[in-house]
Amino acid sequence: MAVLGLSTALAIAGPARAADAPDPANWQAVLDSAKGETVYWNAWGGSQNVNDYIDWAGRQVKARYGVTIREVKVDDTANAVAKVVAEKAAGKNESGSVDLVWINGENFVDMKDKGLLMSPGWATKLPNWKYVAFKQNPTITTDFNTPTDGLESPWGNAKLVFFYDSARTDAKDLPKDTDGLLRWAKAHPGRFSYPAPPDFIGSSFLKQVLYEHIGDTSKLYKPVNDATFEQDVKPLFTYLDALKPYLWRKGADYPENYPDMKRKLADGELGIIFAFNPSEASSAIENGELPDTVRSFTFPGGTLGNTHFVAIPYNANAKAGALVVANFLISPEAQLHKQDPQYWGDPTVLAMDKLSEKERRKFADLDLGAATLPPSELGPVIPEPDASWTTRIEAAWKKRYGTAR
């Protein structure tokens, strides 16, 4: 009851005063204010190539703008949100502990609804916004069915893609949808699994299954209907019940996260894994984490896709520094470095027709690796459901199958 009361109070309170927020329209003033600031960036720290990229970005903004990045590694973005919630409840409306947060989906919606983000519109005023493909890609302006309103700046695109080791798994045997995946798991017991929700990758798998089996997919793009929820998710849990006996360790345990699945694919424990980055396998091969026989595949009918962002809490201590970091992350240079599989392989949010010919050529010349599917083979993008579905199916999964990680 106390938690519900706190949430209600925060929602009623609405956005905090943002008069002291720097105006990105006056960029020189932002640069002047940012010099010497330290940006505490809360980001998922479970992938070494992502951590290395953040280190690289930190060196760039330090040398160019005098801004220091301190990465605060979190295993769940909700933990960063909880910090800001606690600070607002305590009346700490300035000098907060979180300056920048890597975010999307239900965590963004939660922060937006509770008035925990810096004033709307800042993202679209960044100097490098002019390069962003916001017209071509609707997931940049709508995050899990919720308008972004310039409250978060895009950083990368993502799409659910599956990986297998061609030295161990026959490409002719690969599934073409989740029903085919269930048949594959039955034929290869113990060789497939998914991380336990609320791990992001595990929850994404559940949403993929639900999309394919719910029947009326339009329901997923509206808030959960309490009256019909149990019936709506029944096909999901019918599927998961059928899959469980054939999972790795028969579903008595689950992989910890995507890096854990990656290790299990490399060791031959798992035969098929999945990630939310089409270039992830090539990047892992480049870094020696997966054998060079690993390849990618996806479902012809489509898989989930979204955009991930950075956001600035309303009470951030280093707002100007956070703006400088967010702007650098959508520069052609930073986006090119990020899309290179030897560093990360995360797809760009930029529109190629907005870049100079020289910059376009650099993107075109990137070697994305033998394990990366070309855009023409990635299949349709299935938009993320309304954010309310994620939290509800995670809770339902936990109730049915035990304690989630």
18: nearest Cα among 134, 109, 104, 96: 96
| Amino acid letter, residue 175 | P
- Give 136-166 as a DSSP string: T-GGGTEETTEE-TTSEEEEEEEE-EEEEET
Domains of the chain, residue spans = 2-157+306-373, 161-305+382-401
Condensed to tens digits (0 to 9), the pLDDT of residues 253-264 reads 999 999 999 999
- pTM, entire model: 0.83
21 band by pLDDT with thresholds 50, 70 and 90: confident
pLDDT at 4: 33
pLDDT at 47: 85
What percent of the chain is predicted at pLDDT more than 90?
87
**Does residue 5 carry a pLDDT above 70?**
no
376 band by pLDDT with thresholds 50, 70 and 90: confident
pLDDT at 403: 58
Which phi and psi angles does 147 have, rounded to 5°?
Answer: -60, 135
**Residue 95 φ/ψ region, left for φ over 0, alpha for ψ in the -120 to 50 degree band, beta for the rest:** left
375 band by pLDDT with thresholds 50, 70 and 90: confident
Which has the higher per-residue pLDDT, 119 or 5? 119
Condensed to tens digits (0 to 9), the pLDDT of residues 230-245 reads 999 999 999 999 999 9
7 band by pLDDT with thresholds 50, 70 and 90: very low
Query: Which positions ≥6 away from 394 have C-beta within 8 Å?
Result: 197, 198, 203, 206, 404
What percent of the chain is predicted at pLDDT more than 70?
94
End-to-end Cα separation, the chain, in angstroms: 24
- Under CATH, which number does the domain 161-305+382-401 receive? 3.40.190.10
Cα gap 259→255, rounded to integer Å: 9
Domain 2-157+306-373 has CATH 1.20.140.10: no
Is 312 within 8 Å of 118 (Cβ atoms)? yes
Instruction: Compute CA distances 299 → 138, 159, 331, 339, whole Å.
Output: 21, 11, 32, 23
Buried b (16+ CB within 10 A) or exposed e, 279-288: bbbbbbbbbe
Rg (CA), the chain: 21
pLDDT at 11: 40
Cα gap 337→333, rounded to integer Å: 6
User: Average pLDDT over the chain, rounded to whole?
Assistant: 93
Cα gap 57→73, rounded to integer Å: 15
Condensed to tens digits (0 to 9), the pLDDT of residues 48-79 reads 889 999 999 999 999 999 999 999 999 889 99
Kindly state the tokens that stand for 210: 């639900």
pLDDT at 9: 37
**Does residue 404 carry a pLDDT above 50?**
no
